[in-house]
C-alpha cells in the first residue's frame, strides 16, 4: 500500500476525516491542511475567472490570469510529484503522470477550466484510498490505546503515577478496576476478572488470582490487583503484535504485485491509445478524455482495501496474520498437519483411569497414590489430587515424600514405603511389574504411573491429555473447506495418538516422533501438497518454519508463537483455523475480482472516450466508479459470515 507524497491528493478528504486526525502524524496533518488550502484557492480562482468572464467578457487578460493562477496552484505540486515518480520509476506515481499530461493537453487546447477541474475531481479517489489507509491506522492506533501509557507504581507502600515507559522488570504496580494493563506481569495480590478480547478475541472475561499472568493491552474489570512487572512496554507481546500489524499494513499480496508490474506498461499503452485516437479523429478532446478516464484510481485499491477489511475481521476473532503474503499461501493450503499436546488437547494432564491389581480395590489404589501425590507439585501429582470423582482421603501429616527426577515419588512413613512412578523406579527398589498388568490401558495412555506399597504392586494409574471440545468440529469444518489431508504428528505413544485421531476423525497419525522428525514429515508432504502446520509455538518451531504456513495456537502473551509462526491464534478457539483459511481464500478472491473490476472499468471508459461518448470532465467523475465498486466489493471482507 502506498503512502502519498503529492499535494493535491486527498484535497477534500480531511474535512470528512477530522475524527481520524488523532491517528495522523504532525507532518501529515500539515500536508492535509496545505492540500485543503490549495484546493480552496484553486476553486476560488476558477470561480472568480468564470464570474469575471460573465461580467466583463471583454477583459480576457484578467480572466486568463485568474485561470493561470489556479492552474499553477494545482499544477505545480502535481507536476513535481509526477516528475519525481517518473525519474525514480515509481509505479505508484502513474496517476500523477497521467494527470500532468492531461493538464498540459488541456492548457494547449485552451481548456483552462478543465485543466483546473481535472486534478480536483480526480482527488476523490485519493480521498477513498486515504480513508482506506486511515481506516487501517484507526484499528492499529485503537489497539495502541488499549495499552495504558501510565501506571501506578508502589514504592515502600507509596503510590506514584509514572509513565508506563519508565517501568522496568521487578517493579510493583497497582491496577485498579477499569484500568488497562500497561505491561506484562504476574499478579502478586488480589483477584479480578480481566477482559482479554484485544489479545484473544474472546469476549468472556478471564478470572485471575495471585500467581496468574496478565498482559498489556487487556483491561482489569473488577478488583484491585497488585502486579509485578515482568517486561518493559517495548518488550510486551501486545507491543510486538501492534508492530507486526503495522508491517502487514505495508505489505502486498502476489496479485497486487502483479498489478504493479502491469502498471509499468500502462502509461505507454494509454499514451499510445490517446495519440492513435487523435491521429484518426483529429479531435483533441477525445484524446484528453482518454487520458482522464485512464487514471488508475481503482488499481490503487485492489489489494489494500480487501486486506485491511480482512485483517480487521481476523483481529476481531483473535487471529494475528503476520504478513499479507501468508494470506496467499494459506488460500492454497490443501493439507493441515497438527501437533497434539497443547494444540488439539488442552495440555493439562488428567487422571483417566485407575487399573487395580488383582485383589486390590480402586479406592485402595487411588488412596495410596493420593497419600504420596498430595505432597508433590508435579503435574501428574496435581492430576491425582484433583480427581473429583474419587473419595477424598484424609491428610497424613507424618508422611514424607522424596521426588526422583524423571522416575516418580518415594513416600515414607515409619516402616511403610510407597512408590509412585515408572517401571524404572520400581526396578530400583527391586520390585517387578506383574506380567501384563494393565497392558492394554497403559499402551493407550500418554502417561501411566505404577503404585507399590511395601513391595506389593497395587495397580496402575492411567493419564491422558484432555481433548479440546472444539477439536472434532474444527476437523469437520476443514474437510468441508476441501482440505484433502489431515495428519496428527506427536511424540506421545501410538495408543494415545490413535485415540485422538479417532475422536477427531483425522486422516492419519504419526506417533512417537521427535521434533526434527516432524520437520522431515512436513518437508516430504510439501512435495505434493500445500501444507499448513498447527502447533503450540513452543516445541514445534522446526515444523512451523518448515510448513508453507505455520499456525500457532497460543495463549495471550506467547512470544515464542509470535516469533516462530506465520499466523498466531491468540485465543484458545480452534474454530479460528478453518475461519482463517476461509478468510484467506475470500481475500484472494476479492483481490482478483478487484483487479478485473479496475481494469475492465478502465477499458470500457477508454472505449467510450475514444468514441466521443465520454468527455474529459464527465470522465473525471465517471472513472471513479471503478474505485467505488472496488471499495464496495472489498467491504465484503469486513464480515466473517460465509467465510
Strand partners of residue 456 = 453
What are the helix and strand counts (H, E) for the chain?
23, 22
Triad 136, 137, 138: Cα angle to 5°: 90
User: Which residue in 104, 430, 158, 139 sits closest to 291, CA to CA?
Assistant: 104
- Would strands 345-356 and 456-467 be described as parallel, antiparallel, or unpaired? antiparallel
Quick check: 451 and 458 in contact, CB under 8 A? yes
* DSSP assignments along 444-469, one per residue: T-SEEEEEEETTEEEEEEEEEEEEPT
Alpha carbon 414 to chain centroid distance? Answer: 59
Torsional class of 172: left (φ above 0), alpha (ψ -120 to 50), beta (otherwise): beta
Q: Rounded to an integer, what distance in angstroms lies between the CA atom of residue 538 and that of residue 569?
A: 13
User: Which residue in 582, 556, 581, 550 sits closest to 570, CA to CA?
Assistant: 556
Quick check: 599 and 293 in contact, CB under 8 A? no
Q: Rounded to an integer, what distance in angstroms lies between the CA atom of residue 343 and that of residue 427?
A: 35
Alpha-carbon torsion (63, 66, 72, 75), positive or negative? negative
Instruction: Give backbone dihedrals phi and psi of 464, rounded to 5 degrees, phi first.
Output: -150, 165
Strand partners of residue 575 = none
Q: In terms of C-beta distances under 8 Å and separation of at least 24 residues, what long-range contacts does 468-472 make, across chains too?
A: 468/344, 468/345, 468/346, 468/572, 468/574, 470/573, 470/574, 470/575, 471/344, 471/345, 471/500, 471/503, 471/504, 471/574, 472/503, 472/504, 472/505
Q: Rounded to an integer, what distance in angstroms lies between the CA atom of residue 290 and that of residue 112?
A: 18
Q: Rounded to an integer, what distance in angstroms lies between the CA atom of residue 253 and that of residue 586?
A: 13
Catalytic residue among 35, 138, 285, 339: 339
Sorted by sequence, the CB contacts under 8 Å of residue 41 that are 6+ apart come out as: 70, 73
Report DSSP state, residue 571.
S
Q: Rounded to an integer, what distance in angstroms lies between the CA atom of residue 129 and that of residue 62?
A: 37
Sorted by sequence, the CB contacts under 8 Å of residue 303 that are 6+ apart come out as: 1, 252, 253, 255, 256, 259, 324, 591, 594
Cell of 481: 473447506
Q: Rounded to an integer, what distance in angstroms lies between the CA atom of residue 161 and that of residue 172?
A: 12
Q: Please indicate whether residue 22 is annotated as part of the active site.
A: no
User: Which residue in 624, 25, 66, 80 sits closest to 33, CA to CA?
Assistant: 25
Q: Rounded to an integer, what distance in angstroms lies between the CA atom of residue 510 and that of residue 450?
A: 27
User: Which residue in 459, 432, 254 sits closest to 361, CA to CA?
Assistant: 459
Active site residues: 339
Amino acid at each position: 500500500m502506498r503512502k502519498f507524497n503529492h499535494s493535491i491528493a486527498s484535497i477534500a478528504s480531511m474535512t470528512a476525516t477530522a475524527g481520524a486526525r488523532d491517528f495522523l502524524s504532525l507532518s501529515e496533518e500539515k500536508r492535509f491542511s496545505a492540500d485543503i488550502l490549495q484546493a480552496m484557492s484553486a476553486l476560488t480562482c476558477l470561480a472568480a475567472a468564470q464570474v469575471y468572464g460573465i461580467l466583463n467578457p471583454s477583459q480576457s487578460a484578467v480572466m486568463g490570469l485568474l485561470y493561470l493562477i489556479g492552474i499553477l496552484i494545482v499544477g505545480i505540486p502535481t507536476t513535481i510529484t509526477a516528475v519525481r515518480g517518473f525519474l525514480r520509476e515509481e509505479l505508484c506515481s502513474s496517476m500523477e503522470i497521467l494527470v500532468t499530461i492531461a493538464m498540459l493537453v488541456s492548457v494547449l487546447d485552451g481548456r483552462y477550466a478543465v485543466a483546473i477541474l481535472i486534478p480536483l475531481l480526480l482527488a476523490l479517489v485519493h480521498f477513498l484510498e486515504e480513508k482506506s489507509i486511515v481506516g487501517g491506522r484507526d484499528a492499529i492506533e485503537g489497539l495502541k490505546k488499549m495499552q495504558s501509557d501510565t501506571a501506578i507504581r508502589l514504592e515502600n507502600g507509596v503510590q506514584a503515577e509514572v509513565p508506563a515507559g519508565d517501568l522496568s522488570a521487578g517493579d510493583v504496580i497497582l491496577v485498579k478496576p477499569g484500568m488497562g494493563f500497561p505491561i506484562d506481569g504476574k499478579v502478586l495480590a488480589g483477584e479480578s476478572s480481566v477482559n482479554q478480547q484485544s489479545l484473544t478475541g474472546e469476549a468472556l472475561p478471564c478470572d485471575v488470582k495471585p500467581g496468574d499472568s496478565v498482559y498489556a493491552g487487556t483491561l482489569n474489570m473488577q478488583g484491585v490487583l497488585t502486579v509485578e512487572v515482568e517486561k518493559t512496554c517495548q518488550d510486551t507481546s501486545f507491543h510486538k503484535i501492534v508492530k507486526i500489524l503495522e508491517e502487514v499494513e505495508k505489505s502486498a499480496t502476489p496479485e497486487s504485485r502483479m498489478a504493479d508490474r502491469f502498471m509499468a506498461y500502462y502509461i505507454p499503452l494509454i499514451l499510445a491509445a490517446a495519440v492513435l485516437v487523435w491521429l484518426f479523429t483529429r479531435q483533441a478532446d477525445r484524446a484528453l478524455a482518454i487520458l482522464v478516464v485512464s487514471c488508475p484510481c481503482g488499481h490503487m485499491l485492489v489489494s489494500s482495501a480487501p486486506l485491511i477489511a480482512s485483517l480487521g475481521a481476523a483481529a476481531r476473532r483473535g487471529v494475528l496474520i503476520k504478513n499479507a503474503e501468508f494470506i496467499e499461501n494459506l488460500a492454497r493450503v490443501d493439507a493441515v498437519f497438527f501437533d497434539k499436546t497443547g494444540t488439539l488437547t488442552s495440555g493439562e494432564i488428567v487422571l483417566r483411569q485407575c487399573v487395580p491389581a488383582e485383589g486390590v480395590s480402586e479406592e485402595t489404589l487411588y488412596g495410596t497414590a493420593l497419600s504420596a501425590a498430595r505432597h508433590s507439585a508435579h503435574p501428574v501429582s496435581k492430576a491425582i489430587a484433583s480427581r473429583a470423582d474419587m473419595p477424598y482421603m484424609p491428610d497424613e501429616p507424618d508422611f514424607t515424600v522424596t521426588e526422583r527426577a524423571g522416575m516418580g515419588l518415594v513416600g515414607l512413613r515409619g516402616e511403610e514405603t510407597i512408590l509412585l512412578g515408572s517401571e524404572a523406579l520400581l526396578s530400583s527398589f527391586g520390585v517387578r511389574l506383574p506380567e501384563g498388568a494393565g497392558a492394554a490401558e497403559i499402551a493407550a495412555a500418554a502417561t501411566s504411573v505404577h503404585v507399590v506399597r511395601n513391595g506389593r504392586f497395587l495397580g496402575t494409574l492411567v493419564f491422558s491429555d484432555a481433548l479440546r471440545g472444539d477439536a472434532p468440529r474444527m476437523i469437520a469444518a476443514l474437510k468441508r473447506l476441501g482440505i484433502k489431508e489431515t495428519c496428527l504428528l506427536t511424540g506421545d505413544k501410538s495408543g494415545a495418538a490413535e485415540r485422538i485421531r479417532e475422536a477427531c476423525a483425522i486422516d492419519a497419525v504419526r506417533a512417537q516422533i521427535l521434533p526434527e522428525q516432524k520437520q522431515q514429515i512436513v518437508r516430504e508432504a510439501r512435495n505434493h501438497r500445500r501444507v499448513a502446520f498447527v502447533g503450540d509455538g513452543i516445541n514445534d518451531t522446526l515444523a512451523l518454519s518448515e510448513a508453507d504456513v505455520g499456525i500457532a495456537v497460543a495463549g495471550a502473551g506467547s512470544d515464542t508463537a509470535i516469533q516462530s509462526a506465520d499466523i498466531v491464534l491468540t485465543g484458545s478457539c480452534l474454530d479460528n483455523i478453518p475461519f482463517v483459511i476461509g478468510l484467506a481464500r475470500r481475500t484472494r478472491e476479492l483481490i482478483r475480482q478487484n483487479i478485473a473490476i479496475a481494469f475492465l472499468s478502465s477499458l470500457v471508459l477508454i472505449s467510450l472516450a475514444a468514441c466521443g461518448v465520454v468527455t474529459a470532465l464527465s470522465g473525471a467523475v465517471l472513472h471513479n466508479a471503478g474505485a467505488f465498486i472496488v471499495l464496495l466489493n472489498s467491504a465484503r471482507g469486513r464480515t466473517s459470515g460465509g467465510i
